[in-house]
A = this chain, B = another copy of it.
Amino acid sequence: MLDRSVIQSRGFRNVTEGGRVTGFRFQLRNPNYRGVSGSLLDGVEVVVDGERVPDHVPLWTLQGRTLTLDELRASTDVRWQLDELATITVPKPGGLAAGVHQLDVVVFLRRPYFPPMVNRTTFTASATPVLVPPVPGGGLKFGVSTYSYTADIYTLMTMEDVLADIADMGATGVEILGEGNIPGYPTPDAGWVDHWRTLLDRYSLTATNYGSWVDTEMWHDRSLTAEEGAAQIQQDLRLASRLGFTSVRPKFGVTSWDLDPHPIWQESVERSLELAAELDVVICPEIHAPTPIKHPVTQAYVDFIERTGSDHFKLLVDTGIFNTAPVLELSEEIQVDDDEEVPMHLRPLAVPIADLVEVLPHVHFIQAKFATVDDDLHDLHVPWREIIPALQDAGWSGWLSSEYEGRRDPYRGGDQVRRSHALMRSIAAERS
């Protein structure tokens, strides 16, 4: 699907020619209700961060051909279809800086079926697209969780659109939710599995972590047994492996405000370690607020690693535990009854980064959870300027998988993930 906004979120980037940055480009969907011949297009005025570029200057790329306005006016065999995008290239030596920009455009289009005096019609559009800098050198890998696109997947975006979006921002890893993103879960048909593999290839993405659940209170009258828990984990390990993922995060039911996992967890995981080793998929329990790192729950995971000696059981850290300010925008996913107090998991834990460094040898994956990155690329809650240098200093080389969890306004997830990547990469680039 195309973005409903005329200015598309994908395709906004600097243009390099002969080793120099000569301008920037972006993509527009046709703002009209019909497709038209290129000769009816009559220019596009672009105002970027207040700087105006006259309507005859930008180049148009339509159906694979790049044309000046004069060439477009004289053209006989190029069209702007309703379901195809135009790429607009704007000359600007040095291009644009990484971050959020204000972009306003006016598209001029002649419509001969309007009275001659008014047939040069205008379509205006504005957006604040994000220019994401390239991935810096060093061991950190930058991915995205499809959870970021909650409520947009299947409504505004297909799974392919989500992968295209992740690739468009230069991320190379994709994390999914097994029960969210696999049609026909737990038994997708072979066609879908092939489609998934094809998409990974097409967008040059690595399948990273696969989120799963062990719903210990699946029924009202009894809890799952350890055997049932193991069967659930093993089902997801097999499916994850079939889809190319290298870790599975099972989310167990909990028994307390501290998120103590249901006691079956140890036996369920232990019964699954052999399969995990066989498939070479790492089982990763998630360290998630309100459970900090120095806490019996986390310690039990570390003890389990040491006791079993398994290298297929490691930690997954959700960066929400480092929040230094409360996330006040309750998303629809974390609503509770009005008469409940604000749940503990929303209070900022502010776990010291030194605690992370201590367990880092056991950490397989980092969910770069965040709620808001503002227009100046400032995260309102997570102290990335402490986290990222600490990971670099420790020589940690794993995935930082952006996981947006904030207001679910249409298209906000993709936009926020771009900001998150721009922010994290900018910090990482300072030392790489």
- Chain A interface residues toward B at CB < 8 A: 1-4, 29, 31-37, 39-40, 73-74, 79, 81-83, 110, 112-119, 121-124, 147, 150-156, 158, 177, 179-181, 183-185, 211, 213, 215-220, 251-257, 259, 262, 332-333, 335-337, 340, 343-344, 410
Contact = CB atoms under 8 A, between A and B. Distances in A.
A83 B115 contact: no
Contacts of A29: 154-155
A181 B34 CA distance: 8
Contacts of A213: 34, 113
Given A112-B217, A156-B156, 7 more contacts: A34-B179, A35-B185, A81-B185, A110-B217, A114-B254, A115-B257, A116-B256
Contacts of A113: 213, 215, 251-254, 259
B2 A180 contact: no
A183 B82 CA distance: 8
A215 B253 CA distance: 64
Nearest to A410: B4
B114 A155 contact: no
A82 B181 contact: yes
B150 A180 contact: no
Contacts of A183: 81, 83
A4 B155 CA distance: 5
A213 B114 CA distance: 12
A124 B185 CA distance: 25
Contacts of A332: 31, 123
Given A39-B219, A183-B81, A218-B39, A2 B33 contact: no
Contact of A2 (B40, B123, B154, B335): B154
Contacts of A335: 121-124
Nearest to A35: B179
Q: How many copies does the complex hold?
A: 2
Contacts of A340: 117-118
A259 B333 CA distance: 54
Contacts of A35: 179-180, 185
Contacts of A82: 153-154, 179-181
Given A33-B177, A113-B252, A177-B33, A185 B218 contact: no
A178 to B, nearest CB: 8
B73 A150 contact: no
B2 A155 contact: yes
A33 B155 contact: no
Nearest to A157: B1
Given A112-B254, A113-B251, A336-B118, A1 B156 contact: yes
Nearest to A255: B116
Instruction: Tell me which of A29, A74, A332, A344 has the highest count of chain B C-beta atoms within 10 A of its own C-beta.
Output: A332
A32 B213 CA distance: 14
A401 to B, nearest CB: 15
Contacts of A158: 1
A294 to B, nearest CB: 20
B185 A79 contact: yes
Nearest to A115: B257
A423 B165 CA distance: 42
A382 to B, nearest CB: 20
Instruction: Tell me which of A33, A34, A154, A211 has the highest count of chain B C-beta atoms within 10 A of its own C-beta.
Output: A33
Nearest to A150: B33
A402 to B, nearest CB: 15
A215 B112 contact: yes
A215 B336 contact: no
A115 B343 contact: yes
Contacts of A115: 254, 256-257, 259, 343-344
A410 B156 CA distance: 11
Nearest to A261: B113
A432 B201 CA distance: 59
A174 B213 CA distance: 45
